[in-house]
Amino acid sequence: MSQAYLKSPMGVLEIVADDKNILAVNFVKTSKQEKNNALTKQCVVQLKEYFAGRRKIFDLPIKLSGTVWQQAVYLVLSKVPYASIISYADLATMVANSGAARAVGGAVNKNPLTIIIPCHRVLGSKGQLVGYAGGLWRKKRLLELEQAFDLS
């Protein structure tokens, strides 16, 4: 298992990978000793490009973890375009169960690949910032960052 750390504008990100896939990207309080591999280095480069506004889509091999339901939510969530927002209800409908907004929220909260699987792009039904494991202030700043660099 390899791990790298990136001091981002929103705090320290820990990147965990095996030899074939990125397994996790999460905000942590402090960095530890790194054990890099080619994938963690590639992920750091792509995250730096994202924060600089030069990357809107990640091109990394990832391995989704979690239940079948969580993985289905993550696959749909990964298709939400850069600088776009959807509601938990919209996401539930996209996963094929319009009454499952709470269950979708539970899955999103366990997203192991923050930013890469863009859970920060999901808002409450009235457009309010709710439910971000990295903290609502980070969710707000990530959305602002994407809006600032969105030229479409």
Residues with a catalytic annotation lie at: 119
Residue type present at position 94: M
Residue 72 three-state SS: helix
Query: What is the C-alpha separation between 1 and 144, in angstroms, rounded?
Result: 33
Contacts of residue 97, defined as CB under 8 A and 6 or more positions apart, other chains included, come to: 103
Q: What residue has token string 């001091």?
A: 7
Instruction: Give 60's strand partners.
Output: none
- Pairing type for strands 86-87 and 22-28 reads unpaired
| DSSP per position, 117-135 | B-GGGEE-TTS-----TT-
Other Cβ atoms less than 10 A from the Cβ of 69: the count is 15
